[in-house]
């Protein structure tokens, strides 16, 4: 077990990649605060699965775009488990709208949920880690689109581009406190965010064909990467992003 006795917070933790991360961290021995926005029944089911693995998870409903709610998550981890060792800034949404048609409301909500939450999640978790002494780890769940434009998903790309620099800047600033900040950049993964593509056989065939490994990824592959990065096995990795995309970003357009 790579994370025995560690305490983690996972934002957006009751579905998709977040839920897989919760289960993998539990498998590796961590106790977890599961942040969620809707579907309390999914959170309860996860709490039970974590308990069956011999660890403890508590679900907290919060709006991660609000600083006060993020502070509540940190406070809950400290109250329940005494400390925080790992912050996983995972909550994310996308609107699939272009520069030309994105509304002010869409822009603000994507940037707040994806980027503002990661910025202040990093800040508040790091303050607690510094208070405790002994370092810690912050993992930002980004995307191949922190580097790679996705036409028609402009605000999302912007938020992930911001997350790229958050990982790098915070990684440099927090290094002296022995806090590592690492980005994980998934490619196309089978989660609710990609439902429309996954349910359209033609679109799915096209997507699979664009991925060198020939298939969309699983949430579990991303989760195992997070557990590795959070563990002492990754003790010299900080201020960078690890892409987990089956080679998607490097594929050639065949010109
Ligand atoms: C986006 C998906 C997209 C995938 C690969 C992800 O970050 O959320 O909508 O399919 O990147 O392009």
CA of 158 to the centre of ligand 1 (A): 13
Q: Is the CB of 94 under 6 A from ligand 1?
A: yes
CATH of the domain at 81: 3.40.50.720
The span from the CA of 120 to the CA of 128, in Å, is 12
pTM to 2 decimal places:
0.97
Ligand 1: which of 96, 150, 250 to mutate, most ligand atoms within 8 Å of CB?
Answer: 150
Per-residue confidence (pLDDT) for residue 253, from 0 to 100: 72
Per-residue confidence (pLDDT) for residue 34, from 0 to 100: 99
Per-residue confidence (pLDDT) for residue 2, from 0 to 100: 96
Q: Is the CB of 188 under 6 A from ligand 1?
A: yes
Q: Is the CB of 157 under 6 A from ligand 1?
A: no
Buried b (16+ CB within 10 A) or exposed e, 128-150: bbeeeeeebbbbbbbbbbbebee
**Secondary structure in 3-state letters for 120-157:** HHHHHHHHHHHHHCCCEEEEEECCHHHCCCCCCCHHHH
Per-residue confidence (pLDDT) for residue 65, from 0 to 100: 98
CB atoms within 10 A of CB 22: 29
- 2: in domain: no
> In which residue are the tokens 């191949």 written?
144
Burial class (CB in 10 A: 0-12, 13-18, 19+), 24: buried
Per-residue confidence (pLDDT) for residue 250, from 0 to 100: 94
Domain count, the chain: 1
156 an active-site residue?
Answer: yes
Q: Which tokens go with 189?
A: 């993964």
CA of 218 to the centre of ligand 1 (A): 13
* Residue 225, helix vs strand vs coil: helix
* Residue 248, helix vs strand vs coil: helix
CA of 132 to the centre of ligand 1 (A): 37
Per-residue confidence (pLDDT) for residue 49, from 0 to 100: 98
Sign of CA dihedral 26, 28, 29, 35: negative
Per-residue confidence (pLDDT) for residue 252, from 0 to 100: 78
Per-residue confidence (pLDDT) for residue 41, from 0 to 100: 98
What residue numbers bound the domain in which 229 lies? 7-250
Per-residue confidence (pLDDT) for residue 202, from 0 to 100: 97
* Continuous segment of H or E residues that includes residue 226: helix 219-230
The span from the CA of 41 to the CA of 28, in Å, is 24
Per-residue confidence (pLDDT) for residue 27, from 0 to 100: 98
Q: Is the CB of 42 under 6 A from ligand 1?
A: no
> In which residue are the tokens 């999914």 written?
42
In which residue ranges of the chain is pLDDT below 70? 255
Per-residue confidence (pLDDT) for residue 90, from 0 to 100: 98
């Amino acid at each position: 077990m790579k994370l025995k006795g560690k305490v983690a917070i996972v934002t957006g933790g009751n579905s998709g990649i977040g839920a897989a991360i919760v289960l993998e961290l539990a498998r590796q021995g961590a106790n977890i605060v599961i942040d969620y926005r809707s579907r309390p029944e999914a959170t309860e089911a996860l709490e039970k699965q974590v308990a069956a693995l011999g660890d403890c998870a508590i679900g907290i409903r919060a709006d991660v775009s609000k600083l006060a709610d993020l502070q509540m998550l940190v406070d809950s981890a400290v109250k329940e488990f005494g400390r925080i060792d790992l912050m996983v800034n995972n909550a994310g949404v996308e609107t699939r709208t272009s520069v030309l048609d994105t509304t002010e409301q869409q822009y603000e909500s994507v940037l707040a949920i994806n980027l503002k939450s990661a910025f202040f999640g990093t800040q508040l978790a790091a303050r607690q880690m510094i208070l405790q002494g002994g370092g810690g780890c912050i993992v930002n769940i980004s995307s191949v689109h922190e580097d790679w434009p996705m036409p028609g998903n402009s605000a999302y790309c912007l938020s992930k581009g911001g997350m790229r620099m958050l990982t790098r800047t915070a990684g440099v600033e927090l290094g002296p406190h022995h806090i590592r900040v690492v980005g994980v950049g998934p490619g196309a993964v089978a989660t609710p965010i990609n439902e429309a593509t996954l349910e359209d056989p033609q679109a799915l065939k096209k997507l699979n064909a664009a991925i060198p490994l020939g298939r969309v990824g699983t949430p579990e592959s991303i989760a195992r990467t997070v557990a590795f990065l959070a563990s002492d096995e990754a003790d010299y990795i900080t201020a960078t992003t690890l892409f987990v995309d089956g080679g998607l970003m490097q594929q050639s357009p065949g010109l």
